[in-house]
Amino acid sequence: MPNNESLSLDEKASLTSGAGWWNTVAFAGRSIPEITMADGPHGVRYQEADADHLGVGNSAPSTCFPPAVGLGSSWDRELTQRIAVALAHEAQSFGINLLLGPGINIKRSLLCGRNFEYFSEDPLLSAELGVAWVNGLQGEGVGASLKHFAVNNQESERMIVSANVAPRPLQEIYLRAFRRVVTDAKPWTVMCSYNRINGVHASENSWLLTDVLRHDWGFDGAVISDWGAVVDRVKALAAGMDLEMPTSSGQGPAAVASAVRTGALPETLLDQSVQRLITLARISAENARPRTPFDADAHHDLAREAATRSAVLLKNETDLLPLDPTSGQKIAVIGEFARNPRYQGAGSSKVVPTRLDSAWNAISELIDATTGPDASTVHYAPGFTTSESAPSEQSITLLDEAISLAADCDVVVLFLGLPASYESEGFDREHIDLPGEQTALIEAIAAANSRVVVVLSNGAVVRVSGWVDRVPAILESWLLGQAGGSALADLLFGKASPSGKLAETIPLRLEDTPAYLNFPGESRQVEYGEGLFVGYRHYDARKMDVSFPFGHGLSYTTFTYSSPAVRHVGEDIEITLTVRNAGRCTGREIVQAYARTELSRVQRPDRELKGFAVTDDLEPGEAQDLTIVVPRRELEYFDASEEQWLVESLNYRFDLGASSRDIRLSVEIPVTGDPYEPRLDKQSTIRAWFSHPVGGPALRKLLAPVLASVEAEAPAGSNREKAIMGTRLGQLAKFSMVPVNDSQLDALVHSVNS
């Protein structure tokens, strides 16, 4: 193991900043190799010549898999892992040691411009897919960089905004997925985010980077900064932020070396970071398989399989889908996105695909391959333009052309979505509607033909409530990567059955969303006022209607659930059930398990996702037994007063459903929780003292002379009793009728807490 004793102070300091945009400093003579990194996470963005982190410059062609918004809707751990394996092979082929991903930030607001790059509004789903991604990548010798740590849930003022979050939502919603991935998959690196958390920049937040990440979670890898996220290099190093990226042209290392020389920075802290970086460089070099070619065709096929699993069938009235290519129908394909697909997001994750399938070409090929007298025919019209400089006359012409085609055909497939200019890393959206010309097109086409399928391409949720009732079928296809066009043709014509489920809620309107009144904040502050109630947690607690709930997704077949059972297996809970394909075609189901509790000592969302399982492709009539394991730690809540994770002794009900609002079965099981003895003091209420296993009897003993008379005057449940129970212990010494004084109360507090 190379060590850093042989390095001078300046050499050590130089290791703590990038050598360039994508690489680190090397000391070949001391076996400290260079680390080369590139962006992910849905494709390898390797830049040989250009260097930028904004998706502007060019990059070597690589497979564009479905971005996280799509993959998140697959709910498929195994598929995610296979994609990460493929990404690792591509990274190895370019000589990349570290791929910058996965992004697992929670989708707090639908307006976040970067939601396309994150998995879900729920921490468990984000965690499960994050673990699968890191395991797949690192299993093939390429390091991950879990990002963006932490609470990076908006693009507005992302470099300076302070995300102000209370302890429970911070731990239970925004850090929870990071904790799972760090403990279960051990990413080689974690990338700190740009923003501040409760006033302190992530890059210099020692509570976050050292207390939580290293001491609480046991992370032993290296922390790297987001590009340009370091504000004060010395503070950042002291907080546990090991590697400043990209290069600061010597400024960072000079500041570090100077701080060590003046004693402002203990050299031991520098040595710790340097040792972590040397270890990272060694691991990277040992696992490198430079220039091993990757199979672009096989990866394209995998991208197509993933895209097929990522689309979500929101509605399908009259079983309009799947279309039958041998029905002799005239099929209108309308929409610019059928011809020029939107398939990935903009910004640092943007890659140059090895190839790109359009839905129009794929549908045309599928129909061309259909022989026989009843072969259907397809006809195209753009319907609208994504060019923002198009003259209005052109839009009118395109609309008229589309309407007449729709009127002339048996069925219409309408490809709509968000133009690339509507969403991106670097800025947030102002609204969640489709462009006006597209909603006008829906109305016009629906008036001309009642058999319309809308296919949406968007990186973040769009409002559908304004037009959802105008069309019988909607396929939410998100951004599906380079093979999305072929996948959509397969789904539309029944070569595959949709199986995706919503990883985020589609609300009726933006005003209903949890962060609506607190986004994007002001004066460099954003208050997470919704607390725990993010996504479905909010809509369920407020009993609000939504367009389509979290976890929703239809298939071309149907499924029945039966034989539920639940038991303890060691520390964990094991839920089993049987799922049967009760319909007429092959399909796969994603069963979700939501935990519910009553009588909790703390506020809880109505239900929270605690596990899920995916069936195989089931043939009609075929059944499969599923097992969902809920680890004990998933039952934990974060006790803000005790500042620790605790499992509460409660009866836990698990609702098993096809979505968060389509519950088919439930099981219940009691769980013995962790010892709960909250610290008591004179500020604690009488209620807290009486409900404490030790403090209660002790206080009753002290108050024995007056207890009977007080209970007589204030019987249980009376308003007077409620008032008394809300009294602080310390106040008792001030009541003349209560025979206790301050020193007795101090002695009581001491004896109970010791």
Q: Kindly list the residues in this chain that would bind ligand GLC in the complex (CB under 6 A).
A: 39, 53, 100, 147, 226-227, 348
Catalytic residue among 39, 76, 122, 226: 226
Q: In terms of DSSP bridges, do strands 162-164 and 196-197 run parallel, antiparallel, or are they unpaired?
A: parallel
3-state per-residue secondary structure call for 642-710: CCEEECCCEEEEEEEEEECCEEEEEEEEEECCCCCCCCCCCCCEHHHHHCCCCHHHHHHHHCHHHHHHH
Q: In terms of DSSP bridges, do strands 590-597 and 650-659 run parallel, antiparallel, or are they unpaired?
A: antiparallel
d(CA 235, CA 241): 9
In sequence order, which ranges of 524-589 are alpha helices (DSSP H)?
A: 536-541
User: Strand (E) positions, 52-199?
Assistant: 98-100, 143-149, 162-164, 189-192, 196-197
Angle at 131 between CA 126 and CA 132, to 5 degrees: 100
Angle at 66 between CA 587 and CA 133, to 5 degrees: 90
Token readout for 204 is 């210099």
Helix H or strand E encompassing 244 = none
Q: Which amino acid is at 46?
A: Y
At 554 the three-state DSSP class reads strand
Token readout for 242 is 């090991």
Q: In this structure, what are the phi and psi dihedrals at residue 27, rounded to the nearest 5 degrees?
A: -125, 85
Phi-psi region of 413 (alpha: psi -120 to 50; beta: other; left: phi over 0): beta
Q: Which amino acid is at 224?
A: I
Q: Closest distance between ligand GLC and the C-beta of residue 45, in Å?
A: 8
> Do 323 and 343 form a contact (C-beta atoms < 8 A)?
no
Q: How many CA atoms lie less than 13 Å away from 294 in the CB half-sphere?
A: 25
Q: Closest distance between ligand GLC and the C-beta of residue 229, in Å?
A: 8
d(CA 203, CA 233): 9
Q: Closest distance between ligand GLC and the C-beta of residue 244, in Å?
A: 13
> Do 380 and 302 form a contact (C-beta atoms < 8 A)?
no
The contacts of residue 722 (CB under 8 Å, 6+ apart) are none
> Do 460 and 432 form a contact (C-beta atoms < 8 A)?
yes
Q: Which amino acid is at 423?
A: E
Q: Which residue is nearest to ligand GLC (CB)?
A: 53
Closest CA to 225 of 504, 17, 75: 17
CA 342 to mean position of chain CA atoms = 21
At 401 the three-state DSSP class reads helix
Give the nearer residue to ligand GLC in terms of CB position, either 35 or 579. Answer: 35
d(CA 719, CA 737): 20
Q: Which amino acid is at 251?
A: Q
Known catalytic membership, residue 242: no
d(CA 341, CA 359): 7
Query: So which residues are the catalytic ones?
Result: 226
